[in-house]
Chain A
Amino acid sequence: MSPKIPLTTPRPSATFDDYTLSEIRRAASTGIYDIRGGGAKRRVPHFDDLLFLGASVSRYPLEGYRERCSTSVTLGTRFAKKPIELKIPITIAGMSFGALSANAKEALGRGASLAGTSTTTGDGGMTPEERGQSKTLVYQYLPSRYGMNPDDLRKADAIEVVVGQGAKPGGGGMLLGQKISDRVAEMRNLPKGIDQRSACRHPDWTGPDDLEIKILEIREITDWQKPIYVKVGGTRPYYDIALAVKAGADVIVLDGMQGGTAATQEVFIENVGLPTLACIRPAVQALQDLGMHRKVQLIVSGGIRNGADVAKALALGADAVAIGMAALVALGDNDPALDAEYAKIGTKAGCYDDWHEGRDPAGITTQDPELSKRLDPVRAGRRLANYLKVMTLEVQTIARAAGHNNIHNLEPEDLCALTIEAAAMARVPLAGTSWIPGVTGSGGF
């Protein structure tokens, strides 16, 4: 009898991991690239890699419940006759009616208004539900120009010229046939049920010199009343922000690769663009070099989840942040209570990202009337307002602990980094050292 040869433990490949293998099989079976919603899911250096130092002997803190720590922010002070005043520096990012149900859009408006902040339209025009429930509404001006009209432009409180977004910088919008309902088709002037792929560039301008003239036109149409934002995905933030300032932006929205989309190719979401953390300092540097920091306000988005993330973005130089994915979760998206229903469509709570299929059991990323009814816009709006208030309290907690009576006084000197990568990107010292890779010398403590 031959001795039994011990078997080695089955060893999965780190390169060909389970997800990668499943994607190869999916591609081979369908012949179509994978499309999904959301932002980059891969691990990238992020706000988690930063820590606040807090106050001690060298700085003294403020009392938690007794000393004031202001949170308000004014956006659009550069040219607009009517800048926007927000109670909190956390705004709701652009998400379209079409990608989201009308109830979800209404809930976002309600929640934002209760919390004293703004919400934003998306690539599908402005709905009456959204305008009606949003005290402060930013109207996006996108390459598709779906639903674009001068009346809504004048009804808006600010106008956001969208050049790109973090999930797909250089890519256009996508809304597949399942979600092109009668109402969505009518608002976009498209045949019902087609796969709608909107353009990646604006139809009537290209480049920064044209953008300057486009902004002039929008200002003239709205009699210089409204702040004009320019939204860019994180690609070459130093140059993009400098050019947006030159083109006349009042406010710049900078969206990193963790920022979500309604639907785009997985390969695009995971492989194009910069992490949010890597975008902020070059953008702030551009504003500072032009003498425009705090004069042109910077809104940062992409992976903002809690008050600590907000505080860190502000400390690195942002004036405000925007949330998308987190707001949807606050409304009820990806709720474990719906796990049985997620299982039926081949996913699970926390992972559901096939928003383009319109089968969202939470009734948020759908146009199905029965599913949409599941979302109560009043209750969901309240949940969003609660979440926004918690985040604001968290920012104040950190700001007071760092000795600031205004959350906008947070600064890079309040931060350190846990990793060399994060230290280099955020341009703050590695924890316990004075070393900022790429800024200070080769070491030192």
Chain B
Amino acid sequence: MQQLIGDLMRTFDLAQSPLRELNEELHRQTDGSNQPQWEIVNPRGGHAIAVGLDAPVKVDIRGSVGYYCAGMNKKASVTVHGSAGPGVAENMMSGRVVIKGDASQYAGATGRGGLLVIEGNASSRCGISMKGIDIVVKGNIGHMSAFMAQSGHLVVLGDAGDALGDSIYEAQLFVRGKVKSLGADCIEKEMRPEHQEALTKLLADAGIKDAKASEFRRYGSARKLYNFNIDNADAY
């Protein structure tokens, strides 16, 4: 059952109506949509909720979600008022996705744009293969995060697990806490003014007021594995 609350907010109950109907409704929204706000109740850990959105709508999901919530998001602003399963905001193109709780593996995987904010912790492989997305995690992140990360920024206010940035390309990583270990070809790099500036903007965009750019360290690619060299074989 869908219910109209006021003129702007539409509530969709996933306990009453199927997922397919929800996503089809959301896909019908356009840039000039007169239905800019959506509330999804009873997500019950379901998969593929609010995927493939392509309009500047605001979606609030009341509860925790399963795999691939907000996958391939474009333009929309999606907030999960709970925790998210694996692959949240995977391949996001633009827009904003906020997770109030924790996120499971592969958060923001292959994302190409937009901002993903995780207010809790993120599990392993956060930002894997990221291609332009910005990810801000208030808590800690798990092992193998930013694996093969191509571009974009990963900001971590807490600690990072093992093998951060393994086989990284040109993504920039900023960590405030401890890094358990760096992966192959990932090194600590100098924090120059342009990095401070970019980080300050990212923190502001994520609505974070209790952290300063100067408290972070920057990590990125040593670019030693970009072209194959047999003497580097041990690093692979």
Chain A residues in the interface with B (C-beta under 8 A): 30-32, 144-145, 148-150, 153, 176-177, 189-191, 193-195, 199, 203-205, 210, 213-214, 216-217, 220-224
Q: Is there an interface contact between B27 and A223, defined as CB atoms closer than 8 Å?
A: yes
Q: CB within 8 A of B169: which of A190, A193, A199, A203?
A: A190
B-side contacts of A144, CB under 8 Å: 129
- Contact between A214 and B68, CB atoms less than 8 A apart: yes
Judged by DSSP, the binding face of B is: loop
Verify A190–B150 contact, CB threshold 8 A.
yes
Least distance between B152 CB and chain A CB atoms (Å): 9
In whole angstroms, what is the CA distance A32 to B231 when docked? 10
Taking the closest CB of chain A, its distance from the CB of B65, in whole angstroms, is 12
Could you tell me the dominant secondary structure of chain A's interface residues? Answer: loop
Q: How far is the CA of A190 from the CA of B132 in the complex (A)?
A: 11
Interface residues on B, range: 35 or more
**B189 CB to nearest A CB, Å:** 16
Q: Which residues of A contact B169 (CB under 8 A)?
A: 190-191, 194
Query: Residue A149 contacts which of B48, B91, B170 (CB distance < 8 angstroms)?
Result: B91
The answer on a CB contact under 8 Å between B48 and A217 is yes
Shortest CB distance B124–A (Å) = 11
Bound together, the chains give a CA A214 to CA B68 distance in angstroms of: 8
Q: Is B72 a contact partner of A150 (Cβ separation < 8 A)?
A: yes
In whole angstroms, how far apart are the Cα atoms of A144 and B147 in the complex? Answer: 12
CB contact under 8 A between A149 and B93, given known A203-B106, A204-B86, A217-B51: yes
Residues 113-139 (chain B) with a chain A CB within 8 angstroms: 125, 128-129, 131-132
Residues of B within 8 A of A (CB): 19-20, 23-24, 27, 47-48, 51-52, 54, 66-68, 71-72, 74, 86-87, 90-91, 93, 105-106, 109-110, 112, 125, 128-129, 131-132, 147-148, 150-151, 169-170, 226-228, 230-231
With A190-B169, A204-B90 as contacts: A148 and B110 at CB distance below 8 Å = yes
Residues of A within 8 A of B226 (CB): 191, 194-195
A145 touches B110 (CB 8 A): yes
CB of A145 within 8 A of CB of B131, answer yes
Contacting B150 at CB < 8 Å: which of A177, A189, A213, A214? A189
- Whether A220 and B109, one on each chain, are in contact in the complex, defined by CB atoms closer than 8 angstroms, is no
Which residues of the other chain, B, contact A224 by a CB distance below 8 angstroms?
20
Q: Which of B68, B71, B90, B169 has the most CB of A within 10 A?
A: B68
Q: Are B52 and A222 in contact (CB under 8 A)?
A: yes
Q: Which of B74, B106, B150 contacts A150 (CB 8 A)?
A: B74
| Contact for B109 among A30, A203, A213, A223, CB less than 8 A | A203
Q: Which chain A residue has the least Cβ–Cβ distance from B147? A: A203
Name the contact of B228 in the complex, choosing from A195, A217, A223 (C-beta under 8 A). A195
Q: Are B52 and A150 in contact (CB under 8 A)?
A: yes
Asked if residues B110 and A221 are in contact (CB atoms below 8 Å), the reply is: no
In the complex, are the beta carbons of A213 and B67 less than 8 A apart?
Answer: yes
Chain A nearest CB from B184 CB (Å) reads: 12
Of all chain B residues, the one with the shortest Cβ separation from A32 is B230
**Are B20 and A220 in contact, with the CB atoms below 8 A?**
yes
CB distance from B199 to the nearest CB of A (A): 21
Chain A residues lying within 8 Å of B72, measured Cβ to Cβ, are: 149-150, 153, 221
Cβ contacts under 8 Å, B71 to chain A = 217, 221
B51 contacts which chain A residues (CB < 8 A)? 217, 220-221
User: For residue B54, which residues in chain A have a CB less than 8 angstroms away from its CB?
Assistant: 150
A-B contact list, 6 entries, CB within 8 Å: A144-B129, A150-B72, A191-B169, A199-B148, A204-B109, A205-B86
* Contact A203 B131, CB 8 Å, known A217-B47, A221-B71: no
**Complex-state Cα separation, A189 to B27, whole angstroms:** 27
A189 close to B131 (CB less than 8 A):
yes
> Given the complex of chains A and B, what is the CA–CA distance between A144 and B170 in angstroms?
15
Q: Contacts A32-B228, A204-B128 known; A216 to B150 CB distance under 8 Å?
A: no
Inter-chain contacts of A205 with B (CB < 8 A): 86-87
Chain A residues near B132 (CB-CB < 8 A): 189
